Structure 1
Amino acid sequence: MNGPTAMALVFVFTMLIGVPIPFAAGLATVAGIWIADIPLTLLAQSAYTAFDAFPLTTIPMFVLAGALMEKGGMSEHLISIARRLVGAYKGGIGLVTVVSCMFFAALSGSGPATTAAIGSITIPAMLKENYKARFAGAITAAAGALGSMIPPSNLLIIYGLVAEQSIPRLFLAGIVPGLTLGVLLMLVTYLIARKNNYGGTGEPFSWRPLMGAIWEGKWAIGAPVLILGGIYAGIFTPSEAAAVAVFYALFVGLVIYRQLTVKDIFHAIRFTALMIGSVLFILGVTKAFGQLVTLYDIPESVSFLFGAFSEHPWLVLLLIAVFYIFVGMWLESIPQIIIFTAVFLPLVTSLGVDPILFGIFTVVACEVGFLTPPIGVNLFVASKIARTSVEQVSIGVLPMLIPYFVVIVLLVFFEDWVLFLPNLAFGISSH
C-alpha cells in the first residue's frame, strides 16, 4: 500500500470511529511517515516550526479581544446602533441581527464568537416578536459566519500562514465580499420576514436617534477603526494590532462601560486558552501532514486528476467549492484550510488564480461548513440560544445559504471586485 492511500484510509477510518480530528490527522501522518521510512522526529520538528511563526500570536490575541468585547458591553451598543438603523422594517430584529454581526465580526474575527455574542441578545428578542425559533436561530448562525470573512478574521490569518500570503492584503480582500454577504443575507431575511409578517413595529427611521446611538456606541465603533486603521496606516503589524485590541477591550470594558469584571476576564482567558490549544495542536500535526502531502507529490496527482479541466479554471474552482462544502459537513474549518490549502493552492495558482482570491474563496466555502450538520458549530450555538434542535435550525438555515452560493459563483467568475482594494492599497496589478 502506498503512502497517500494509507494516510487517506487511516484518516477516514479513525474519524468514522469517533477519533477527534487532530488525533486522526496525527495518526494518518504517522502512517505516512512510517511507510516513507522517515524518522518520527519529523512530527515534532514540524510542530516546532509551525509554532515558531510569529503571526500565529495574532490569533489568540484577537480571540481574547473578541471575548473581552463581548463581556464588556460592546455588543449591546452595536445592536443599539443597528436597531436605530434598520429596526423599523419588516424582519427588523432579524435585520438588526445581520447588521450587528457585521459590526461585531470586525471586532472578534470568529464566527462562533459572533453568533454567541449577538445571538444571546437578538434571538430572545425575535422569539418575543413570534419569530419561529428555527428562523431566529438560522439568521444568527448565517450572519455569525461573517465573523470568518470580515477582517480581522482568524481563518484568513490561518490561510495567510499556511499559504505564506500577506495577511493585510487578505484582510483588505475580505471587506467587499463580507459586506456583500451581509447585504444579501439582509435581503433574504427581509423577504422571509415579509412573507411571514415578522416585525416591522419599531420606531420609524430618524437621523437624530441614530446619531445618538452612534455617539453612545462610539467606543465600540472605534475598535475596528483603531485595529484596521492602524494596520493599513503602517502604525503596527497585524500581531501588534491584536495586542492593541486586547488593551482597548480591557480599557473600554473596565473604564468606559464598566461592565467587565474580574470573573469575565478569567472566563475570556480560559475560553481563549482552550480554543488556541486546539488550534495549536491541529496546526502542529497538520504541518507535518502538509509536508508529507508535498513529499508524496499529491498536489501533482491532484493536478493530473484535474488535467482534463485545466482549460476551464472556473470549473476547477467550482469542483473545489463542492469538495470544501461536502468535507465541511464533517471537518472543522481550521483543519480544512490547513490540510487542503497545501493540496489545492499549487493547482489553482498553476491555472492563473491569484492566491489572495483563492484565500477568500476558501474561507467563504469553509463558512458554509459553519452552517451544515453534523459539525456546524454556528448551528449548535444558535440552537442552544434559541432552545430548539440543531435539526430545526439546519432546516431554517437552508435559504440563508443562497447568499453564500451567490458569492462563491461571483468569486469564481470575477476577481477584480475582490482584488481591487488590496491592489489599490499595495499598488499591485492583478494582471
Structure 2
Amino acid sequence: MTIGVLFGSFIVLLCLSVPIAIALGLASVATIFVTNPVGIDAFTQNVIEGLDSFPLMAVPLFTFAGDIMGRGGISQKLLDLSNVFFGRWTGGLGVISIVTCLFFAAISGTGSATVAAVGMIMIPAMVKSNYNKPFSGALVATAGTVGTLIPPSITVIIYAVTAGVSVTGMFAAGIGPGILVGIALIIYTLFYSKKHKYKGDPRKYSWKEIFIILLKAVPALLLPVIILGGIYGGIFTPTEAAAVASVYGIIVSVFVYKGVTVKDLPYIGYNSCLLSAAVLIIIGISSGFGQILTITQMPTTIADFILSITSDKIMVLLLINLFLLLIGTFMETNSAVVILAPILLPIVMELGVDPIQFGIIMVLNLAIGFITPPLGANLFMASQVSGIKYDSLAKAIVPWILVMIVVLLFVTFIPQISLKIPDLLITPG
C-alpha cells in the first residue's frame, strides 16, 4: 500500500503539472500521513542531510563558471581555432560545430548552454553556406549533448552524489564516451556532407594568422586543463576545482576577452544560484523520497522482479536502456538521475556492472532525451537561437538519434570505453 500511495500521488501530481521537486515532497508527505512508513521529523532530517554534501557545492560553482565563460566571448575564439584545423574539410562547418561543442562542453558543463553559445554563431553560418537548415540545427542540438558527459558535467556530479561514487572517477569515465560521441557525429556529418556536396572553406591561413588565433584561444583552452589537471594531479578536489574555475572564469571573461563587465557579475551569480537552487531542492527532497523507498525495500523488490524475468546481463541492460530512453523523452535529466539511480543501481550491480560505468550509461541515455521529442530541451534551444521551426528539427533529428543509440550500445557493452581512463588515473576520492 505504501508504494501505491507514494507513486500514485506522485504520478497524479505530475499530471497536474506540479513541479517535480514539489511533487516529490507532497507525495512523500502524503505517504507518511496515510501509511506512516517513517516519521515526519526523520523525513525532514533526511532532506537536510541530503543537501549536506561537500561535492554538491560544485554544482553552483561550475554553473557560474560555465555561464560567465559562455558570456565572455569564448565560443567565438574556439570556433576560430577549430576553423583553422577543420575548415577546409568537406562539411567543414559541421565538423567545426561539433569540435567546438566538445571544447565548450568542457567549460560549461551543460548541454543547453553549449547549444546556445555555439548555435547562435554556427547555425546561421552553415545556412549561409547552403547547408540544409534543419540539418544544421539538428547537428548543433546533438553535439550539445556531450555537455552531460564531458567533465565538469553537472549531471555527472549529481549521479556521483546520489550513487555514492567518486566524482573524480565519474569525470574520468565521461571522457572516453564523450570523445566517442564526437567522433561518431563527425563521421555522420562527413558522410552527409559528401552526399550533399557541402564544400569546405578554401581559405588558407598563414603561420602568423594561426599563431594569433591559437594565442587568443589559449585562455579558453586552459580552463579544462586546469580543472582536470588539478583534479587528477591531486592538487584539489572537484569542488575546489569548481571554485578555481569560477575565479579563472572571472579573470578571463572580464580582463582578457572583456565580454563581461564587473557590473555583470552580480546578475550572473544570481542567475547561477537560481539555476542551481532548483537542482539542489530536487536532490534534497529526493533524499527523503529515497528513504521511504529504502524502508519499503522497493529497489530490492524491483531488482528481484526483473531478475526473475531474466538474469541475462545483455537483456537486462537492453531493457534498462529502453526504459531510460523513454524516461528521457519527458523527464528532466537531473530529476531522473536522483529518482532512478537508487532503484536501478542495485539491479546492475547484481549483474556485475561497475557503478561508475552504469552512471555513464544512465547519463548518456538521458542525454539522448535532450534531442528526443516531445521534451527535447536541446531541440527547443536550437529552435530558439536559429529561428528553425521545432517540427522541422524533430524530423531532421531522427538519424542523429540513431547515431547516438549506436554509441550508447558501444558504451553499454564495452565497459573499457568508460573505465579505461579511470583505471589509468590515480583518482582521489
Distance (Å, rounded) in 2 between the aligned partners of 1:251 and 1:214: 19
2:172 is aligned to 172
1:232 is aligned to 232
Q: Partner of 1:88: helix, strand, or coil?
A: coil
| 1:186-243 per-position Cα deviation (integer Å, ceiling 9, x unaligned) | 1112222222233423425887754542222111111111111011111111011001
User: Could you tell me how far 1:169 is from its partner in structure 2?
Assistant: 0.8
Q: Is the Cα contact below 8 Å between 2:151 and 2:171 reproduced in 1?
A: yes
Q: Is the Cα contact below 8 Å between 1:85 and 1:210 reproduced in 2?
A: no
Q: Is the Cα contact below 8 Å between 1:85 and 1:205 reproduced in 2?
A: no
- Percent sequence identity is 37
Change (3 A) 1:205 1:319: farther
Distance (Å, rounded) in 2 between the aligned partners of 1:150 and 1:261: 28
Q: Which amino acid aligns with 1:321?
A: N
| 1:345-378 per-position Cα deviation (integer Å, ceiling 9, x unaligned) | 1111111110110011111011011111222211
Point out the more displaced range, 24-33 or 76-85: 24-33
Q: Which amino acid aligns with 1:420?
A: K
User: Could you tell me how far 1:311 is from its partner in structure 2?
Assistant: 3.3
Counterparts of residues 209-358 of structure 1 (less than 5 Å): 209-308=209-308, 310-358=310-358
Change (3 A) 1:173 1:207: farther
Q: Partner of 1:258: helix, strand, or coil?
A: coil
Q: Which amino acid aligns with 1:133?
A: K
| 1:362-414 per-position Cα deviation (integer Å, ceiling 9, x unaligned) | 11011011111222211111110110222221221111112321222112221
Distance (Å, rounded) in 2 between the aligned partners of 1:211 and 1:135: 33
User: Could you tell me how far 1:421 is from its partner in structure 2?
Assistant: 1.2
Distance (Å, rounded) in 1 between the aligned partners of 2:374 and 2:22: 19
The answer as to 2:30 corresponding to 1:31 is yes
Distance (Å, rounded) in 1 between the aligned partners of 2:417 and 2:205: 31
TM-score, length-scaled by structure 1: 0.94
User: Could you tell me how far 1:309 is from its partner in structure 2?
Assistant: 5.2
Point out the more displaced range, 35-44 or 92-101: 35-44
Q: How many residues align?
A: 427
Q: Which amino acid aligns with 1:371?
A: I
1:20 is aligned to 19
Change (3 A) 1:42 1:168: same
Distance (Å, rounded) in 1 between the aligned partners of 2:56 and 2:422: 22
Distance (Å, rounded) in 1 between the aligned partners of 2:160 and 2:254: 33
User: Could you tell me how far 1:157 is from its partner in structure 2?
Assistant: 0.3
Q: Is the Cα contact below 8 Å between 1:55 and 1:161 reproduced in 2?
A: yes
| Superposition CA RMSD, Å | 1.9
Distance (Å, rounded) in 2 between the aligned partners of 1:304 and 1:218: 53
2:161 is aligned to 161
TM-score, length-scaled by structure 2: 0.95
Distance (Å, rounded) in 2 between the aligned partners of 1:253 and 1:358: 36
The answer as to 2:31 corresponding to 1:10 is no
2:368 is aligned to 368
Q: Partner of 1:59: helix, strand, or coil?
A: helix
User: Could you tell me how far 1:82 is from its partner in structure 2?
Assistant: 1.0
Unaligned runs of 5+ in 1: none
Change (3 A) 1:308 1:211: farther
Q: Is the Cα contact below 8 Å between 1:80 and 1:213 reproduced in 2?
A: yes
User: Could you tell me how far 1:4 is from its partner in structure 2?
Assistant: 1.2
Unaligned runs of 5+ in 2: none
Q: Is the Cα contact below 8 Å between 2:158 and 2:334 reproduced in 1?
A: yes
Distance (Å, rounded) in 2 between the aligned partners of 1:196 and 1:374: 29
Distance (Å, rounded) in 1 between the aligned partners of 2:184 and 2:202: 22
2:70 is aligned to 70
The answer as to 2:32 corresponding to 1:40 is no
User: Could you tell me how far 1:23 is from its partner in structure 2?
Assistant: 1.9
1:119 is aligned to 119
Distance (Å, rounded) in 1 between the aligned partners of 2:138 and 2:124: 13
Q: Which amino acid aligns with 2:331?
A: L
Change (3 A) 1:217 1:238: same
Change (3 A) 1:118 1:206: same
Change (3 A) 1:204 1:195: farther
Distance (Å, rounded) in 1 between the aligned partners of 2:268 and 2:18: 28
